Amino acid sequence: MHPEEVSSVWLNRRFYEDAEIAHYENLTKAALTPLAGEVAKARQRLIESRDTFTSNVDSIDTGAIKFMEKKIVEYEKTISSLVQRVNALELRVATLEKSDSQSKPVSQINIQSVHSSKPVANDDDDDDVDLFGSDSDEDDESAAKVREERLKAYEAKKSKKPVLIAKSNVILDVKPWDDETDMKLMEENVRKVEADGLLWGAAKLVPLAYGIHKLQISCVVEDEKVSIDWLTEQLLEIEDFIQSVDIAAFNKI
């Protein structure tokens, strides 16, 4: 064959085609490698998650669960027992109420019979006085005189009864100006306030703060003769010793 003809023929074509195929296959593998890596990482994470879940399941304390179930059963039994007791009590109360309602008429009859058999007791001697006398003697002059005498006797008896005097027991808090106030002298000045129906009682010193004490003194007053407002005003006039007066307690006697 002529040399020029040989040079125009591609004798190594197969070699170049194989090299080209290998080149493009390598490019394809390089493009798929990152995706395959991500898939592998995701698969590894799934495996690790599965192993972790299995270990947590194994670590659960089944004994605690059984203990709670046992306690729940005990509580249910206790509640059931309490419900039965309450029902029994309700039945017993209903029975007692029914028997009580049936026995009430008998007791009322007995009480009425006892009251009717007993004479009426008079708590006050004034009730013994018949102010109007008998109805049949209303037109009789002698009956009118009797009524007048009874009225006079009633009025005389009422006048002899002692009149109840309303009194009050009062406890006053008397506060000084400062800690330098002579509390003994202040008490003496308080007791100098006198009035008809006023009786001073016991007194004591009660600590306030910063070394200051207040005088707590009791007294008994007759409500119609002595006013608490008047007594407070009289005490406040002792300006050299007293800063204020408060009512700590007020009780009727």
pLDDT digits (tens, 9 = 90+) for 177-201: 998 999 999 999 999 999 999 999 9
- Name which of 66-80, 202-216, 222-236 the model is least confident about: 66-80
User: For residue 121, what are its two tokens?
Assistant: 């007791």
Beta strands in the chain (DSSP E): 167-176, 198-209, 212-222, 242-252
Q: Name the fold adopted by 167-252.
A: Alpha-Beta Plaits (3.30.70)
pLDDT of res. 220? 94
Residue identified by tokens 């009430």 is 104
Kindly report, residue by residue over 4-15, the tens digit of the pLDDT: 445 556 667 777
Which tokens sit at 63?
A: 């004994």
Residue 106 has pLDDT above 60, yes or no: no
**pTM flag (> 0.75):** no
Contact 150, 129 (CB under 8 A): yes
The phi, psi pair for 208, rounded to 5°, reads -105, -75
DSSP state of 244: E
Q: Which uninterrupted H or E stretch holds 84?
A: helix 62-117
d(CA 212, CA 180): 8
Query: 20-24, 75-79, 216-220 — which one is most confidently predicted on average?
Result: 216-220
**For residue 228, which amino acid is it?**
I
CA distance 48 to 55: 11
186 neighbors 236 (Cβ within 8 angstroms): no
